[in-house]
Amino acid sequence: MTIETVSFTERVSGAAGSACRVHGTGTGATYIMDVFSALTSLLPTLGWTEDSMNYGACGPTGMATGFTKGGAIGLLAVGWRPSANANCPKDQPISMCPLTPEQKIYTVTIQVAEQE
């Protein structure tokens, strides 16, 4: 896991500044539960309000959403890709690739910035 300060542009308003980013990677064996659902359930209990209308996205290999709390915005993204040794067919959807948990490489990123 890494924690760092990064450049940040809020895509709805276009405001720019910096954010604190927490980023982790692991395999399906590391993340044995649905990390996205766990975090989207946890953050409201900590006072964050989800804004999936403005920041939500979903696809076959990941999901993203945004949260607000006071003057802060938090963006959550969880995605995965097959490992190099997975040998997924290039002519088929990713859902057709039989993967073991160890062959799914997950990334979990949360960025938090002050809104202006």
pTM score, whole prediction: 0.89
Q: What is the pLDDT of residue 14?
A: 87
Segment 52-100, tens digit of pLDDT: 999 999 999 999 999 999 999 999 999 999 999 998 988 999 989 999 9
What span, in angstroms and rounded, lies between the C-alpha atoms of 21 and 33? 22
Average predicted confidence (pLDDT) for the chain: 92
Q: In DSSP terms, which residues pair with 24 in a beta bridge? A: 108
* Residue 52 structure tokens: 């999936």
